Copies of this chain bind each other. A is one copy, B any other.
Amino acid sequence: MNWLDEVKWDRDGLVPVIAQEAGSGDVLMFAFMNREALQLTAERGEAVYWSRSRQKLWHKGEESGHIQQVHELRLDCDNDVVLMKVTQLGHEPGIACHTGRHSCFFQRHDNGTWVADRPVLKDPEHIYK
């Protein structure tokens, strides 16, 4: 059986993907892949997602240079979520978030509010130019 057929694609033909930094263990971002994106990710060793907003393949870093080198692809017990171990390239420390932060998860719940407690490492205007 083809490994791509074993993935339980959702009603939109997508699978949720968690990108985790290999070195630090930090969860960097969460996005989706369709079948083609997952195949390309495995072939290239670089993260290729499916952009739901733009409805097209999205080679992460194609504009920003912040490419994700993929070391490992893992699948969960229900075959419907992918976990990817990556190195976030293009900046030190790595920038995975379009806001210029290391991780997309920069808001912490604190007593009934969400507090942004992680710094912007690079101005997004200088990332996407």
B108 touches A74 (CB 8 A): yes
Q: How many copies does the complex hold?
A: 2
User: Is A114 in contact with chain B by the CB < 8 A criterion?
Assistant: yes
Question: Is the interface on chain A under 10, 10 to 19, 20 to 34, or 35 or more residues?
Answer: 35 or more
Residues of B within 8 A of A20 (CB): 27
- Closest chain B residue to A24, Cβ basis: B25
User: Is A73 in contact with chain B by the CB < 8 A criterion?
Assistant: yes
User: Is A60 in contact with chain B by the CB < 8 A criterion?
Assistant: no
User: Is A106 in contact with chain B by the CB < 8 A criterion?
Assistant: yes
Q: Name the contact of A109 in the complex, choosing from B3, B24, B97, B113 (C-beta under 8 A).
A: B3
Smallest CB separation, A70 vs chain B (Å): 10
Residues of B within 8 A of A76 (CB): 29-30, 104-107
